[in-house]
């Protein structure tokens, strides 16, 4: 069986409802984890789904884990993770699971596979600047990491690799799991011929001809903090550590000088760096008493 976990947070229903309708015809089990303040009823879109509501927002990692454990409990073999702002083709789950099954028969040790991603801002294919191909055969290319949305996992590997790292809360959770799996001898792959449209960030800005994504100010806290947390871990790729550490001053400038809510963004970034240096983990609200944290 194939299960799907969709994590929503104050969702735009015009985006998430079509995704759920597409999933209903592809997944044997569907889990919706809702981190919104108020609960949502999706029964007018789909009939059979398992719903759990966490108004305190448990974070993306915990939401994934709750969904994955439920799918394991009901006997699913594969699980796909999806964000609320992704749009999938009508045959994506079948195609990804078929590739995983074929790879298993050929004794390729693939823990997770994802589609090729096209960003909804402009429709360009998303490819990391530095990441190189690890292997290539048929319609698969081995990579060092893939994003969480669209990631299909072979649930049997969780006994060895473990669940998502809830201490990171949100940013870097997907990459960390991939790197951890690779450090244990598993491969991570991307399907060349399977595409998914996904929104990365809330908007786009340009500076001296370079386009960069812009998200909510609170995300900057997790991004800066988790760079420092992950840079201490031996299985995290050196190229990622060097790139992210090098661009910290650049991102500080871009987000404090060129965006709205400059003081707020700067505060979140500095708090993230402070907590990262101290090794603090978990939700922002565990360490800072700030009611306005969006």
**pLDDT tens, position by position, 88-136:** 999 999 999 999 999 887 778 999 999 999 876 555 666 665 666 788 8
Domain that holds residue 231: 203-286
Tell me, yes or no, whether 41 and 89 share the same domain: yes
More confidently predicted of 152 and 208: 152
Tell me, yes or no, whether 226 and 93 share the same domain: no
Tell me, yes or no, whether 90 and 169 share the same domain: yes
In a domain, 180, yes or no: yes
Tell me, yes or no, whether 11 and 132 share the same domain: yes
The predicted structure's pLDDT at residue 38 = 97
Tell me, yes or no, whether 165 and 263 share the same domain: no
Tell me, yes or no, whether 183 and 275 share the same domain: no
User: Helix, strand, or coil here: 21?
Assistant: helix
The predicted structure's pLDDT at residue 241 = 96
CB-CB contact of 156 with 80 (8 Å): no
CB-CB contact of 104 with 190 (8 Å): no
Tell me, yes or no, whether 280 and 179 share the same domain: no
> Nearest 5 degrees, angle CA 260-CA 261-CA 265?
110
Read off the pTM.
0.92
Report whether pLDDT(196) > 80: yes
Tell me, yes or no, whether 153 and 227 share the same domain: no
pLDDT digits (tens, 9 = 90+) for 210-266: 666 777 899 999 999 999 999 999 999 999 999 999 999 999 998 888 778 889 999
Give the separation between CA 143 and CA 8, rounded to whole angstroms. 27
Among 174, 198, 222, the domain-final residue is 198
Tell me, yes or no, whether 117 and 12 share the same domain: yes
In a domain, 292, yes or no: no
Stretch 265-274: mean pLDDT: 96
Tell me, yes or no, whether 223 and 194 share the same domain: no
Instruction: Return the CATH number at 114.
Output: 3.90.550.10
Q: Into how many domains does the chain fold?
A: 2
Tell me, yes or no, whether 24 and 167 share the same domain: yes
The predicted structure's pLDDT at residue 105 = 75
Report whether pLDDT(138) > 70: yes
In a domain, 293, yes or no: no
Task: Kindly write down the DSSP assignment for every residue of 188-210, as one continuous string.
Answer: EEEEEEEEEEE--SSEEEEETTE
pLDDT digits (tens, 9 = 90+) for 23-73: 999 999 999 999 999 999 999 999 999 999 999 999 999 999 999 999 999
Tell me, yes or no, whether 74 and 213 share the same domain: no
In a domain, 291, yes or no: no
Stretch 194-212: mean pLDDT: 69
Nearest to 268 by CA among 215, 229, 218: 218
């Amino acid at each position: 069986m194939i299960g799907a976990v969709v994590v929503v947070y104050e969702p735009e229903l015009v985006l998430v409802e079509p995704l759920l309708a597409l999933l209903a015809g592809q997944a044997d089990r569907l889990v919706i984890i809702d981190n919104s303040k108020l609960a949502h009823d999706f029964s007018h879109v789909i009939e059979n789904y398992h719903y759990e509501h966490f108004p305190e927002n448990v974070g993306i990692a915990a939401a994934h884990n709750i969904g994955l454990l439920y799918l394991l409990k009901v006997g699913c073999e594969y699980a796909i993770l999806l964000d609320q702002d992704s749009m999938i083709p009508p045959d994506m789950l079948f195609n990804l699971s078929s590739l995983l099954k074929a790879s298993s028969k050929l004794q390729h040790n693939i823990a997770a596979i994802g589609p090729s991603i096209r960003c909804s801002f402009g429709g360009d294919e998303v490819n990391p600047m530095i990441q190189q191909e690890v292997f290539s055969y048929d319609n698969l290319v081995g990579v060092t990491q893939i994003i969480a949305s669209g990631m299909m996992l072979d649930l049997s590997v969780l006994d060895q690799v473990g669940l998502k790292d809830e201490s990171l809360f949100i940013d870097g959770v997907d990459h960390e799991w991939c790197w951890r799996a690779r450090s244990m001898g598993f491969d991570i792959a991307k399907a060349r011929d399977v595409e998914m449209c996904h929104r990365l960030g809330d908007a786009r800005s340009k500076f001296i001809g370079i386009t960069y994504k812009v998200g909510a100010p609170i995300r900057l806290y997790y991004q800066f903090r988790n760079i420092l947390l992950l840079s201490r871990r031996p299985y995290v790729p050196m190229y990622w550590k060097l790139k992210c550490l090098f661009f910290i001053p650049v991102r500080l400038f871009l987000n404090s000088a060129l965006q709205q809510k400059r003081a707020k963004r700067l505060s979140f970034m500095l708090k993230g760096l402070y907590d990262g240096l101290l090794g603090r983990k978990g939700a922002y609200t565990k360490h800072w008493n700030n009611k306005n944290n969006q």
